[in-house]
């Protein structure tokens, strides 16, 4: 769980290379674990798994803004994306 006053955004992206399509999913929860919002999107045209994970992060930030969340903790399982953020 995130610290008090923060919201945690769990994101995931998926990509089907054979079809060139993907999907993203986002869930927001507060420090008590209470569900604050979520979103899932289908992408007719995707580039790769990394781009879908990045799109999921974008979706999470957009949803957080729509819900007036000012302190957001992002969580992704993509080590590749995390390394890019660290650069």
Could you tell me if 9 and 28 are in contact, meaning their C-beta atoms sit under 8 angstroms apart? yes
CATH topology for 7-79 is Nucleotidyltransferase; domain 5 (3.30.420)
Cα atoms in the Cβ-side hemisphere of radius 13 Å centred on 80: 8
Could you tell me if 71 and 5 are in contact, meaning their C-beta atoms sit under 8 angstroms apart? yes
Q: How many other C-beta atoms are found inside a 10 Å radius of the C-beta of residue 86? A: 6
Q: What is the pLDDT along the chain (87 residues), one digit of tens a residue?
A: 899 999 999 999 999 999 999 999 999 999 999 999 999 999 988 889 999 999 999 999 999 999 999 999 999 988 888 888 776
| Sequence ranges of the domains in the chain | 7-79
What pLDDT score does 87 carry? 65
Vertex 14, ends 9 and 19: CA angle to 5°?
155
- Is the full-model pTM beyond 0.85? yes
């Amino acid at each position: 769980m995130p610290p008090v006053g923060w919201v945690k955004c769990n994101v995931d992206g998926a990509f089907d290379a054979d079809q060139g399509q993907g999907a993203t999913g986002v869930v927001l929860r507060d420090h008590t674990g209470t569900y604050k919002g979520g979103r899932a999107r289908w992408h007719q045209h995707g580039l790769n798994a990394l781009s879908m994970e990045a799109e999921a992060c974008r979706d999470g930030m957009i949803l957080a803004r729509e819900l007036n969340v000012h302190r957001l903790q992002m969580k992704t399982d993509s080590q590749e994306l995390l390394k890019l953020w660290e650069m």
